[in-house]
Amino acid sequence: MKRIETDADILRALAGLVALDPRLQSVRDRAGDIPLRRTEPGFASLVSIVISQQVSRASADAIEARLTGLIDPLTPASILAAGEAPLIAAGLSRAKQRTIVALARAVIDDGLDLEILCALQAEKAVACLTAIHGIGPWTAQVYLLVCAGHPDVFPAGDVALQAAVAKALALPERPDAKRLTKLAESWTPFRAVAARLFWAYYRQMKGKEAAPLPR
């Protein structure tokens, strides 16, 4: 399946997804607008996703605004040159500080090219990203979804997606990442659009945005 690059790609994939799993028609009807959710690949976008790990959208926005106010432009070189003081001042946890520094070193010292990585098959790209300290499957999969337009990735560790799927499919409890990964296999090759659909459904369900990017 082609990359998800336009709103038309979303609509085509949604039609295929609902045909594959008719249960999702009611989800589609309630979800409203399904945003494309694309942003430019690169270091700054991946840092933004790292910031979004396990915090609310509002908290992530505030931390990112402070960080970009202290370090501008947000590049691997500027992160390493700035040291830890602006990372602390921005409100980043120690774990996220280490992850962002490790990512900057992977780009500068190891030659990691985050744009070329977007052209790789999803499995290989996830393996490359998760080899970096502090980057797990959720971060890698979200990067591929929003920065590379991969059509068939599903960040099953996302708590909002877990809650939305549980509600939409009337599951007895919220599925964990392992169970949701298994469940989402039935939505191949449209899993990235399924994620967008359930993020939109969550927005309608809770009245707030939970998708990590774009801002």
Q: What does R_g of the chain's alpha carbons equal in angstroms?
A: 17
Q: Which domains does the chain carry? A: 7-38+152-206 (1.10.1670.40), 43-147 (1.10.340.30)
Give the integer Cα–Cα distance in Å for 68 and 82: 12
DSSP 210: -
Q: Give the global pTM.
A: 0.94
Q: Are 203 and 167 in contact (CB under 8 A)?
A: no
pLDDT, mean of each 10-residue run, the chain (215 residues): 92 97 97 93 96 90 96 97 97 98 98 96 96 96 97 96 97 97 97 97 92 69
Give the integer Cα–Cα distance in Å for 60 and 41: 19
Give the integer Cα–Cα distance in Å for 89 and 188: 42
- For residue 214, the model assigns a pLDDT of 64
Give the integer Cα–Cα distance in Å for 58 and 160: 14
DSSP 85: H
In order, the DSSP letters of 116-173 are HHTTS-HHHHHHHHHTSTT--HHHHHHHHHHHS--SS---TT-HHHHHHHHHHTT-SS
